[in-house]
A and B are shown apart, each in its own frame.
Chain A
Amino acid sequence: MADSTSVPATARSVALRLEGVRRAFGGLVVIEHLDLQIEAGEFLAVLGPSGCGKSTLLRMIAGLAPPDEGRMIAEPERPQAAFVFQDAHLLPWRTALNNAALPLELMGASREERHAKARAALDQVGLADAESRYPAQLSGGMRMRVSLARALVTEPRLLLMDEPFAALDEITRFHLEVQLRDLWHRRGMTVIFVTHSISEAAFLANRAVVLTRRKGHIKLDRRFDLPAIRRNELRSDPRLGREMGMLMDAMEEE
């Protein structure tokens, strides 16, 4: 089994470097002097207490909230990014297929192309049979999988996820975590995954950073020594327990 340090970097992933980044809202400094380097094809988890700037960091990387100071350098420049939110945030008046096809529609793809790619993306997340259903007819887990399909449909180089499984029950979450890890391994995209959950971060990521409560400094930067292919059996593996312990110590001090 391959070691986690050998991330599946391909031509479809993106490397990021943040240098001296600062972001404030009014007088409140959320992130200050943040330096962070993310390798191409890396699966990075970002942990920290509520209000520490995790989501702000993700929005800055997505280009939705530019930093007040500092620089963000992406290689290649202006990568195709996709964002998965805490809730599914689907368009309720569209079917699962048309929700998954939305990014391609906004980018000007033809109907045939976007429907073919959206069907493939829904198939990847196990929702091939649900393409004509509306969000109101789907369970919470299914809605989140449509949201994931919508993110994957553009074959993004950079996938940004903001606590996407926080609202789901544990069994659904375990299932989706395995599925996400497999997708990442097959596609080799760079993933930045914000979460409150120590177990989720350790199970999914190759590397985790823990942010401090104030000003979003990096308190811990940890690369995990865990297998590349991850199944639910790993959840009871002592190696995962050790990594979780490291993260918990850093979080508890906050």
Chain B
Amino acid sequence: MKKILPPLIPFVAVTVLVEALVRGGFVPSYLVPAPSAVLRALMDNRAELATAMGKTSAAAFLGFALSTLAGIGTAIALSSSRAIQRSLYPYAVFFQTVPIIAIAPLLVIWFGYGMQTVIACAFIVSIFPVIANTLTGLLSTDPALRDLFRLYGASPGVTLVKLRFPAALPQILTGLRVASGLAVIGAVVGEFIGGEGLGSVVDVARTQQRVDKVFAAVLLASVLGLALFGLINLISALTLRHWHASEQA
């Protein structure tokens, strides 16, 4: 209850305030719908929204899973040698700076209309924080412990598995927290251009002036982002609870 109550209080307060402002005529409902109208839109379109949420969830989760695997793998490769790092890291930064809305049409050409394009969008948007944080963690290993592993003849592979990776875990999980939200954003943007899901629901509802339905879809996208974020927090609590200050407070 101590964890749930603090964020719940401002949510309830803002909901009540917006409801009052819209009902009182201070804010036009074609700009901001009353929360009760959003709830009604959720109920009236539940079948369509549930299907859309399922598709967005699958695409966001697959894009996030791919960026986790590829991001960690890339960071391990980059951390293995300064020369590799210097020659390849700028291309990793490319994924951070690329405007996804601009290249999404290209992705439709390459992958076609549908799930693959949406997954690709989620992947491109979410991979950089995984690479950057994992790399920072892998390069921050305690030099004394590296010496200790050398002293007992540990191979680079053993040192990675038993020292560098676990030591980098707090940073990796920070990268995954950022990436989880970005994967949902990437998936929704991908669906605007070339797929079906909450993004396409928002796009169609917008053209129909159904602001309440737009808000309902956006609300579900946020819930999806929060669910992925919560999953990473759960993994973090399970893996770090005995030893890292972030999970012992």
B144 pairs with A93, CB closer than 8 A:
no
Let me know if A85 is at the binding interface, CB within 8 A: yes
Question: Contact size class for B?
Answer: 20 to 34
Whether A89 touches B145, Cβ cut-off 8 Å, given contacts A134-B243, A136-B242, A136-B243, is: yes
Q: When chains A and B are docked, how far (Å) is the Cα of A154 from the Cα of B153? A: 13
A-B CB proximity, top 4 nearest: A92-B243, A106-B152, A89-B144, A106-B154
Which residues from chain B contact A81 at a C-beta distance below 8 Å?
Answer: 151
Residues of A within 8 A of B (CB): 59, 62-64, 81-83, 85, 87, 89, 91-93, 102-103, 105-107, 134-136, 154
30 pairs of residues in contact across A and B, judged by CB atoms under 8 Å: A59-B147, A62-B147, A63-B151, A64-B151, A81-B151, A82-B151, A83-B148, A83-B151, A85-B144, A87-B144, A89-B142, A89-B144, A89-B145, A91-B166, A92-B243, A93-B166, A93-B240, A93-B243, A102-B162, A103-B148, A103-B152, A105-B162, A106-B153, A106-B158, A106-B162, A107-B152, A134-B242, A134-B243, A135-B243, A136-B248
Scan residues 47-106 of chain B and give those whose CB is less than 8 A from a CB of chain A. none
Chain B at the A interface: SS class: helix
| Other 14 A-B pairs with CB < 8 A, given A81-B151, A93-B242, A136-B242 | A62-B151, A89-B144, A89-B145, A89-B148, A91-B163, A92-B243, A92-B244, A93-B169, A102-B148, A103-B148, A106-B149, A106-B152, A107-B152, A134-B243
Let me know if B46 is at the binding interface, CB within 8 A: no
Which residues from chain B contact A103 at a C-beta distance below 8 Å?
Answer: 148, 152
Q: When chains A and B are docked, how far (Å) is the Cα of A98 from the Cα of B248? A: 21
Q: When chains A and B are docked, how far (Å) is the Cα of A60 from the Cα of B147? A: 12
Which residues from chain A contact B244 at a C-beta distance below 8 Å?
Answer: 92
Q: When chains A and B are docked, how far (Å) is the Cα of A62 from the Cα of B244? A: 31
Which residues from chain A contact B153 at a C-beta distance below 8 Å?
Answer: 106-107
Let me know if B150 is at the binding interface, CB within 8 A: yes
| From B149, B151, B163, B248, residue with most partner A Cβ within 10 Å | B151
Which residues from chain B contact A91 at a C-beta distance below 8 Å?
Answer: 145, 163, 166-167
Which residues from chain B contact A106 at a C-beta distance below 8 Å?
Answer: 149, 152-154, 158, 162
| From B142, B144, B169, residue with most partner A Cβ within 10 Å | B144
Smallest CB–CB gap between B7 and chain A, Å? 28
Q: When chains A and B are docked, how far (Å) is the Cα of A85 from the Cα of B240? A: 25
Smallest CB–CB gap between B69 and chain A, Å? 22
Smallest CB–CB gap between B157 and chain A, Å? 12
Which residues from chain A contact B243 at a C-beta distance below 8 Å?
Answer: 92-93, 134-136
Q: When chains A and B are docked, how far (Å) is the Cα of A154 from the Cα of B151? A: 12
Q: When chains A and B are docked, how far (Å) is the Cα of A166 from the Cα of B146? A: 21
Smallest CB–CB gap between A162 and chain B, Å? 9
Which residues from chain A contact B242 at a C-beta distance below 8 Å?
Answer: 93, 134, 136
Scan residues 138-192 of chain B and give those whose CB is less than 8 A from a CB of chain A. 142, 144-145, 147-154, 158, 162-163, 166-167, 169
| From B147, B152, B162, B248, residue with most partner A Cβ within 10 Å | B152
Which residues from chain B contact A105 at a C-beta distance below 8 Å?
Answer: 162
Which residues from chain B contact A82 at a C-beta distance below 8 Å?
Answer: 151
Q: When chains A and B are docked, how far (Å) is the Cα of A220 from the Cα of B153? A: 35
| CB closest chain-B residue, reference A133 | B242
Per-residue contact bits, chain B 186-203, to A (CB 8 Å; 1 contact, 0 not): 000000000000000000
Smallest CB–CB gap between A143 and chain B, Å? 12
Which residues from chain B contact A102 at a C-beta distance below 8 Å?
Answer: 148, 152, 162
| CB closest chain-B residue, reference A86 | B144
Q: When chains A and B are docked, how far (Å) is the Cα of A107 from the Cα of B151? A: 10
Q: When chains A and B are docked, how far (Å) is the Cα of A193 from the Cα of B120? A: 58
Which residues from chain A contact B147 at a C-beta distance below 8 Å?
Answer: 59, 62, 64, 83
Q: When chains A and B are docked, how far (Å) is the Cα of A103 from the Cα of B151? A: 9
Q: When chains A and B are docked, how far (Å) is the Cα of A155 from the Cα of B240? A: 32
| CB closest chain-A residue, reference B244 | A92
Q: When chains A and B are docked, how far (Å) is the Cα of A154 from the Cα of B163? A: 19
Q: When chains A and B are docked, how far (Å) is the Cα of A82 from the Cα of B147? A: 11
Q: When chains A and B are docked, how far (Å) is the Cα of A87 from the Cα of B144? A: 9
Q: When chains A and B are docked, how far (Å) is the Cα of A154 from the Cα of B148? A: 13
Q: When chains A and B are docked, how far (Å) is the Cα of A102 from the Cα of B145? A: 11
Which residues from chain A contact B144 at a C-beta distance below 8 Å?
Answer: 85, 87, 89
| CB closest chain-B residue, reference A82 | B151
Which residues from chain B contact A63 at a C-beta distance below 8 Å?
Answer: 151
Smallest CB–CB gap between A238 and chain B, Å? 39
